[in-house]
Amino acid sequence: MDTIEVKNLSFSYGAALALENISFAVKQGDFTGVLGPNGGGKTTLIKIVLGLLKAQKGEVKLFGKDINKFDDWVKIGYLEQKNTPSSLMPLTAFEVARLGLLSSKKLPKTFNKTDNETAENIMQTTGCLPYKNKLFYELSGGQQQKVLLARTLINKPSLLILDEPSTALDSASRENFFNLISSLNKQNNITMLLITHDIADIGKYVNNFLILDKNIIFYGSKQKFCGDKKAEEYFGPYTPHLMDHLHADAKSCPFGRHQ
Amino acid sequence: MSVIEFLSFSFVQRALTAGILIAVITAILGTFLVLKRLSLIGDSLSHVALSGVALGLITNTSPIFVAVPVVMAGSLLVFKITEHTKVYTDSALGIVSACGISFGLIITSLAGGFNVDLMSFLFGSILTVSAWELWLAFTLSAAAFVMIYIFYNDLIAVVFDENFAKTAGVNAKRINTILVLISAVAIVAALKVVGIMLVSAMLIIPPCAALQLATNFKKALLLACSFSVISVIFGIYISFVLNIPSGAAIIILNILILAFCACIKKFLK
């Protein structure tokens, strides 16, 4: 059973086509980097995969279950692009991180002592425990992102979907962030779907690429990407530069200047 | 007149009990609505309440009983408009508000104009709260409290970050619907306290004052309730002593508290 299965998916915003005939499958433990230009449909695809938008055509399954019937949300962690929570909401960083446990609760959803300890532990892991009692809206963008990452990871999800998660982080925090999610992927076999504009960010961590520009330009392993003519045509003169960032794999890349 | 003498009147006891109940429930709901940028729903639905009250008066039935379903329908209409048309929520609130007040005026005019009963709903008349109106306020508030208790953390999640809430398994549409339906009930319950013209202030001002000082969400709720209750108690007392409208006195006190909190916040910075 695939973790994510997308078949013949199409979506338009009014007359503007966003995605056309997209099909791909992600296996448990895959770390897939989703790349493409602005307006290429990356965020739209993620929102359809999560059921936040309804596909006009095609089908989406998570863990073998149609997204419209999917209810096992405790398996999912989602960190959104340009997160804009209610700006005056007086929630502390701790309260925001703990909210991630909601998917494991039944009505009335209340939090207990164990939940509080779990929240503190995950905040320690993502490096935001020192400001746990500060109001979320008073934190910097990078600090907020660490809190939201804690909220995303708190349930130990089996599938982690991250939409440009590192944009607000400084270089040291970005390095820590990628090391953390990479170790989660390797040690806990968590499936990762990570949207980014910067291939340099993820070249050394992912094992698959999904290049999207309304259609799928490329989907497959990092090694196959290096030899893919369509990807080479798409990236044009930038291909050698991209390959530089694929680090060790770049040496065996069969096209661009590494041929 | 001494405070003890003031409290000895049974109509004052009823007014204070009903007022405190309504103050607490509108403060809690208002905190969620303000943070969800839906604070003007109180204004809009109170205008819809005019239709319900007028309909109740013209048909010789209880205005409150008629107003409850009418205002609930109005609150759902706001969602339907935003869902099915290219209209923002604030515009939908304006449309429903205009619709409510227009129907209210037409029904009132068909009934031969404004009468004393309608005026008491327009401007509030908490000192005339009857025993059964007190029970009604208690029942409506109790229902609202139970719903808030059951969905408390879901409400927080939806107000804070709706997309996150959906991926945490929270049915955001249901929670939004529950929030506006409870608000509709609370607005009707508050009509006798401050009246149609000022009910939205009960939902907006105490939470805004609380948000100036709150350091977490529970404190925000606690402060909003405290400010609201204080303004109701002293508002009723002042209105009784000075013989001025109770609704207006309550709201002016709320505004003074908001100004005081804003000053404290500035001072603390």
Task: For residue A254, name the pLDDT band (cuts at 50, 70, 90).
Answer: very low
Task: For residue A241, name the pLDDT band (cuts at 50, 70, 90).
Answer: low
Domain membership of residue B200 (yes or no) is yes
Residue-wise pLDDT for A153-186, tens only, equals 999 999 999 998 877 777 888 888 888 888 888 8
Task: For residue B22, name the pLDDT band (cuts at 50, 70, 90).
Answer: very high
Number of structural domains found in chain B: 1
Find out whether B23 and B222 touch, Cβ atoms under 8 Å.
no
Number of residues in chain B: 269
- Tell me the one-letter amino acid at A94: F
Domain-wise residue ranges, chain A: 4-258
Q: Which residues contact A187 (CB under 8 A, 6 or more apart)?
A: none
B32: domain CATH number is 1.10.3470.10
> Rounded distance, CA B140 to CA B239, Å?
25
What own/partner pairs with CB < 8 Å and gap ≥ 24 does B263-266 have?
Answer: B264/B212, B264/B213, B265/B212, B265/B213
Residue-wise pLDDT for B179-196, tens only, equals 999 999 999 888 878 888
Helix, strand or coil, per DSSP, at residue A109: coil
Chain B CB contacts of A90 below 8 Å = 211, 214-217, 219-220
* B211–A88 CB contact, under 8 Å: yes
**Most confident region among A85-89, B191-195, B199-203 by mean pLDDT:** B199-203
Q: Is B181 on the interface with A (CB under 8 A)?
A: no
The sign of the dihedral angle between the CA atoms of B140, B143, B148, B154 is negative
Of A36, A58, A39, residue with least CA distance to A49: A58
If you count residue pairs, one on A and one on B, with CB atoms under 8 Å apart, how many are there? 87
What's domain A4-258's superfamily in CATH? P-loop containing nucleotide triphosphate hydrolases (3.40.50.300)
Sort B152 into a burial class: Cβ within 10 Å, 0-12 / 13-18 / 19+: middle
Per the listing, tokens 């998917």 go with A103
Backbone angles phi, psi at A10, to 5 degrees: -130, 145
The H helix count followed by the E strand count for chain B is 12, 0
- Domain boundaries, position B249: 3-264
Burial A154-176 (b: 16+ CB within 10 A, else e): bbebbbbbbbbbbbbbeeebbee
pLDDT of amino acid B156: 95
CB count within 10 Å of CB A259 equals 10
Chain A CB contacts of B163 below 8 Å = 52, 78, 80
Domain membership of residue B269 (yes or no) is no
The alpha carbon of residue A54 and the mean position of all alpha carbons in its chain are separated, in whole angstroms, by: 19
Per the listing, tokens 């991180």 go with A97
pLDDT of amino acid A251: 52
- Which residues on neighbouring strands pair with residue A19, listed in sequence order? A11
Helix, strand or coil, per DSSP, at residue A33: strand
Chain A CB contacts of B159 below 8 Å = 86, 89
Q: What is the pTM assigned to this prediction?
A: 0.88
pLDDT of amino acid A238: 60
Q: Which residue of B has its CA nearest to A151?
A: B164
DSSP structure class, residue A155: T
pLDDT of amino acid B5: 85
* B150–A99 CB contact, under 8 Å: no
Task: For residue A231, name the pLDDT band (cuts at 50, 70, 90).
Answer: confident
Domain membership of residue B249 (yes or no) is yes
Would you tell me which residues 95-124 of chain A have a C-beta closer than 8 angstroms to some C-beta of chain B? 95-96, 99-100, 102-103, 105, 107-111
* B216–A71 CB contact, under 8 Å: no
Find out whether A161 and A50 touch, Cβ atoms under 8 Å.
yes
Q: Which residue of A has its CA nearest to B31?
A: A89
**Chain B nearest CA to A83, separation (Å):** 8
